């Protein structure tokens, strides 16, 4: 099984996603500051995986702390929570996981530092285990929407690598593939960071899932030719009304799908839903370094002097989404995320 984030005795272990698909390199982390840098630099990425990694970052902070009293330890935990929260703004799973860890610590007021450390480790492991279980449940719910001989298009990587394992959108594909329903997965390469070609294609090769890589710009003509039966993507944050932030380019795919009458599904756990935001207009969108666009790998593809606009995510209006697949079932518009 692909395990992008795991705890190994004393250390957090991350499969460094910057190295894929060329090298499978695991890195070990003993300091929360290094976990924060790994999140910022995309060594670990994907909304649920970021949340799990950050939860273990809090565990490391508690273990790094020399505190001998609860209050000292809690102060150190709060510094780490703030530092980890400052890494990436869009995926709400990060803040959800950090808030959950912080509240667990706060609820242990008066306990010994070692008791708090042990409880935090158990909570981070629970967040990981719950994400894995949610993905498997999502896979089953989503597979029911996939017809026989389906040709599915996906954008970015919402696979095992982006989660605790199994994946959200690619989890739906995995579950449907296990039932013999997948004829082909069209994998958008996903410029500029290439999560589709580097990561989703890598997962498909590893699992023997039939797929073909396409330039992002090819999705529309494929739909026009009737070669896409459905689209499924992940999500980084879903507002209360169903508006969904996901990897840049998702919105374009959703508009194309609407135009061509192709169902457009989003698969995400409840930890990706942010009920505090009424609509997608309030979702903060990360802007990343222009260097991501001026180079492909080591190859320069634009003048250094060219200014760049590089939003990492866009928002797809709920009106373009046929259904949202969660671990608690399939939600259809108008979206009300209860149950």
Which residues does the annotation mark as catalytic?
A: 236
Q: Which of 267, 245, 260, 246 is nearest to 188 (CA)?
A: 246
Which residues make Cβ contacts (< 8 Å) with residue 310, sequence separation at least 6?
Answer: 192, 287, 288, 289, 290, 292, 293
Q: Which one, 62 or 257, has the nearer CB to ligand MRU?
A: 257
CA gap 202, 205 in Å, rounded = 5
Which residue in the set 168, 200, 271, 326 belongs to the binding site for ligand MRU (CB under 6 A)?
A: 168
Q: How far is the CB of 115 from ligand MRU (least distance, A)?
A: 33
Give the β-pairing of 182-188 and 211-214. parallel
Give the nearest distance from C-beta 167 to ligand MRU in angstroms. 6
Q: Is 271 in the site for ligand MRU (CB under 6 A)?
A: no
- Our finding on whether 163 is near ligand MRU (CB under 6 A) is yes
Q: What is the DSSP letter of 325?
A: E
**Using rule CB under 6 A, residue 314 touches ligand MRU:** no
Among residues 78 and 292, whose Cβ is nearest to ligand MRU?
292
239 touching ligand MRU, by CB under 6 A: no
CB atoms within 10 A of CB 328: 15
CB of 311 to ligand MRU, least distance (A): 11
Out of 38, 116, 138, 235, the only residue in the binding site for ligand MRU (CB under 6 A) is 235
Q: Minimum distance from CB of 49 to ligand MRU (Å)? A: 7
Q: Check residue 104 for interaction with ligand MRU (CB under 6 A).
A: no
192 contacts ligand MRU (rule: CB under 6 A)? no
DSSP 165: S
Task: Give the list of residues 6+ apart from residue 324 with CB closer than 8 angstroms, or none.
Answer: 235, 238, 242, 244, 265, 266, 267, 268, 330, 331, 332, 335
Site membership for ligand MRU, residue 54 (CB under 6 A): no
Say what the alpha-carbon torsion angle 298, 299, 305, 311 is, to the nearest 10 degrees.
-70
Q: How far apart are alpha carbons 220 and 215 in whole angstroms?
A: 11
Residue of 91, 97, 175, 325 that binds ligand MRU (CB under 6 A): 91
Confirm or reject binding of residue 132 to ligand MRU (CB under 6 A).
no
Q: How many residues bind ligand MRU (CB under 6 A)?
A: 17
Binding flag, residue 185, ligand MRU (CB under 6 A)? no
**Does 246 sit near ligand MRU (CB under 6 A)?**
yes
Cα gap 304→323, rounded to integer Å = 42
Stretch that binds ligand MRU, among 121-129, 203-211, 228-236, 327-335 (CB under 6 A): 228-236
Q: Does 15 bind ligand MRU (CB under 6 A)?
A: no
- For position 154 contacting ligand MRU by CB under 6 A, the verdict is no
Q: Cβ closer to ligand MRU: 74 or 313?
A: 313
Instruction: Count Cα atoms within 13 angstroms, Cβ side, for 296.
Output: 9
DSSP 256-280: HHHHHT--EEEE--GGGEETT-SSG
Interior angle at CA 251, CA 161 and CA 285, nearest 5: 70
Length of the chain: 339
Tokens of 107: 């609820």
Q: Which residue is nearest to ligand MRU (CB)?
A: 234
| The only residue of 236, 243, 314, 327 in contact with ligand MRU, by rule CB under 6 A | 236
Residues that bind ligand MRU (CB under 6 A): 45-48, 91, 156, 158, 162-163, 168, 195, 234-236, 246-247, 312
């Amino acid at each position: 099984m692909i395990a992008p984030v795991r705890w190994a005795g004393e250390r957090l272990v991350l499969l460094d996603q910057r190295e894929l698909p060329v090298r499978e390199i695991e890195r070990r982390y003993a300091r929360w500051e290094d976990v924060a840098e790994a999140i910022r630099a995309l060594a670990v990425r994907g909304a649920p995986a970021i949340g799990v990694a950050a939860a273990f970052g809090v565990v490391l902070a508690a273990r790094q702390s020399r505190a001998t009293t609860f209050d000292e330890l809690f102060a150190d935990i709060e510094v780490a929570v703030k530092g980890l929260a400052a890494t990436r703004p869009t995926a709400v799973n990060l803040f959800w996981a950090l808030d959950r860890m912080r509240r667990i610590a706060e609820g242990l007021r008066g306990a010994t530092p070692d008791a708090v450390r042990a409880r935090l480790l158990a909570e981070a492991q629970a967040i990981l285990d719950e994400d894995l279980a949610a993905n498997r449940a999502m896979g089953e719910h989503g597979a029911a929407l996939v017809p026989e001989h389906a040709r599915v298009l996906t954008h970015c990587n919402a696979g095992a690598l982006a989660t605790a394992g199994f994946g959200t959108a690619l989890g739906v594909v995995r579950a449907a593939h296990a039932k013999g329903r997948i004829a082909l997965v069209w994998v958008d390469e996903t410029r500029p960071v290439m999560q589709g070609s580097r990561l989703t294609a890598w997962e498909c090769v590893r699992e023997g899932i039939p797929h073909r890589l396409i330039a992002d710009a090819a999705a529309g003509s494929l739909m026009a030719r009737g070669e896409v039966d459905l689209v499924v993507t992940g999500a980084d944050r879903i507002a209360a009304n169903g508006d969904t932030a996901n990897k840049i380019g998702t919105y374009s795919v959703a508009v194309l799908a609407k135009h061509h009458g192709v169902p457009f599904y989003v698969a995400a756990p409840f930890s990706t839903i942010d009920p505090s935001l009424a609509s997608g207009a309030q979702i903060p969108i990360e802007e990343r370094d222009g260097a991501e666009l001026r180079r492909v790998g080591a190859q320069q593809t634009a003048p250094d002097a060219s200014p760049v606009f590089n939003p990492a995510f866009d928002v797809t209006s709920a009106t373009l989404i046929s259904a949202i697949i969660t671990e608690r079932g399939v939600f259809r518009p108008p979206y009300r995320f209860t149950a």
